[in-house]
C-alpha cells in the first residue's frame, strides 16, 4: 500500500487520508474494483461513488488499518455520487444492505444527481422481501439501519460539516446531470473529476488543489479503437494528453490517475499502466501516480 504524507503534517498521521477503494472502469478487472474512493478526515469517512465491490474493498481497507471505515463498511454514513452510470452505482444495494446486516444501526445520507432518490426507492423495493424478513424475523434488525436519506444536488456547496466542505461542479459526460467534486478539509484540497471530457468547470474548481484525482484513457490505445468509440471517448472522457495539458495549467500538488481506461490496444500492451504514465510525463513534469485499489494517499 502506498502512503504519501501530507506536507503540513510531517511526522504524524495527516488529518486527511484518501483511500482508493476501487480504481476501475466498467470492465470487470478482478484487480480493480468499480469506482469508489473514501476520503477520511479526522477518522470520519466520506465515500465518493459506490461501484461494484465497494463493501468488500472497504472491509479490506479496514483490515489494513483504515479503522474509520468500520468492519463491514459500517463506518460509512455519508456518500457522494458523481453520476448515475452503473459502474459507479452497482454497489449501491451492497452499501445500503450489507453494513446494516452486519450491524449498522443508523441511516446513511447520500448526495447525488437527479434520479438518485428514485434509484434508492427502487433498490429498497427490490430487496423488500429480505428487508422485511430481517426486521420482522429472527434477526430483528432496526429498520433505521437500512434507511437512506437522499439529497439531489445542484452545482455549488452541497455539504459542510466541521471536517469537510464539498462543492459540486458540472462535468461533460453525455448525461444531463454529472458532477465532479472539490473537497476542502483542514489540511487538503482534493478535486475529483468523476467521469468527464475536458471542461472548463473542472479547472475553475482546482484553485489551490493539493490532490487532483482524475480519470483518463491512453492516447495510444485510442488510436486502436473504432471511429465510433474514438468519438465516444473524445466526448465523454479525457485522454492522457488532454489531462497532461490540464495538469500543466492547474499544477496540482499530486496528480492521481484513476478510472484508467485502456480498452482497444491495452490488452496487447506489455505494461498499460506504464504506457499511460509515459504519455502523461511527455507533456507534464509534475508529480503523477497511477492509483491501485487500496492505495492510501
Q: Which of residues 87 and 295 has its CB atom nearest to Zn ion in the complex?
A: 87
- Given the rule CB under 5 A, which of 82-90, 95-103, 238-246, 286-294 is the region that contacts Zn ion? 82-90
Q: Which of residues 153 and 164 has its CB atom nearest to Zn ion in the complex?
A: 153
* Cα(203)–Cα(269) distance, integer angstroms: 31
CB of 19 to Zn ion, least distance (A): 19
State which of positions 150-209 bind Zn ion (CB under 5 A).
Answer: 195
State which of positions 105-144 bind Zn ion (CB under 5 A).
Answer: none
| Grid cell of 23 as nine digits | 480504481
How many residues belong to the site for Zn ion (CB under 5 A)? 3
The residue written with cell numbers 448525461 in the block is 175
CB of 96 to Zn ion, least distance (A): 20
Binding mask 84-103 for Zn ion (x = CB under 5 A): -x-x----------------
49 binds Zn ion, rule: CB under 5 A: no
Q: Which of residues 88 and 134 has its CB atom nearest to Zn ion in the complex?
A: 88
Q: Which of residues 134 and 177 has its CB atom nearest to Zn ion in the complex?
A: 177
Q: Which of residues 104 and 259 has its CB atom nearest to Zn ion in the complex?
A: 259
Length of the chain: 297
CB of 181 to Zn ion, least distance (A): 14
CB of 286 to Zn ion, least distance (A): 25
| Grid cell of 265 as nine digits | 490496444
* Cα(19)–Cα(14) distance, integer angstroms: 13
Choose among 86, 18, 93, 66: nearest CA to 292.
Answer: 18
Residues near Zn ion, by CB under 5 A: 85, 87, 195
Amino acid at each position: 500500500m502506498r502512503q504519501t504524507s501530507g506536507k503540513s503534517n510531517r511526522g504524524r498521521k495527516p488529518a486527511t487520508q484518501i483511500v482508493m477503494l476501487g480504481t476501475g472502469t466498467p470492465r470487470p478487472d478482478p484487480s480493480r474494483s468499480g469506482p469508489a474512493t473514501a476520503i477520511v478526515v479526522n477518522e470520519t469517512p466520506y465515500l465518493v461513488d459506490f461501484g461494484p465491490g465497494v463493501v468488500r474493498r472497504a472491509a479490506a481497507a479496514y483490515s489494513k488499518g483504515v479503522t474509520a471505515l468500520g468492519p463491514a463498511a459500517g463506518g460509512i454514513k455519508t456518500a457522494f455520487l458523481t453520476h448515475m452510470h452503473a459502474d459507479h452505482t452497482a454497489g449501491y444495494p451492497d452499501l445500503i444492505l450489507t453494513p446494516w446486516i452486519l450491524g449498522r444501526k443508523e441511516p446513511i445520507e447520500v448526495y447525488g444527481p437527479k434520479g438518485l432518490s428514485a434509484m434508492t426507492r427502487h433498490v429498497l423495493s427490490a430487496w423488500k422481501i429480505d428487508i422485511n424478513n430481517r426486521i420482522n424475523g429472527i434477526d430483528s434488525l432496526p429498520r433505521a439501519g437500512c434507511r437512506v436519506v437522499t439529497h439531489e444536488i445542484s452545482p455549488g456547496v452541497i455539504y459542510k460539516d466541521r471536517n469537510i466542505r464539498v462543492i459540486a461542479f458540472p462535468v461533460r459526460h453525455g448525461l444531463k446531470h454529472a458532477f465532479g467534486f472539490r473537497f476542502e478539509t483542514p489540511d487538503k484540497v482534493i478535486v475529483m473529476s468523476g467521469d468527464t471530457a475536458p471542461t472548463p468547470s473542472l479547472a475553475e474548481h482546482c484553485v489551490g488543489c493539493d490532490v487532483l484525482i482524475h480519470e483518463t484513457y491512453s492516447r495510444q490505445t485510442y488510436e486502436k479503437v473504432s471511429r465510433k468509440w474514438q468519438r465516444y471517448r473524445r466526448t465523454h472522457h479525457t485522454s492522457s494528453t488532454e489531462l497532461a495539458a490540464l495538469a500543466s495549467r492547474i499544477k496540482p500538488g499530486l496528480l492521481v490517475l484513476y478510472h484508467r481506461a485502456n480498452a482497444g490496444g491495452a490488452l496487447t500492451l506489455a505494461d498499460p499502466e506504464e504506457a499511460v504514465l509515459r504519455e502523461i510525463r511527455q507533456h507534464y513534469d509534475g508529480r503523477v501516480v497511477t492509483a491501485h485499489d487500496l492505495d492510501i494517499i
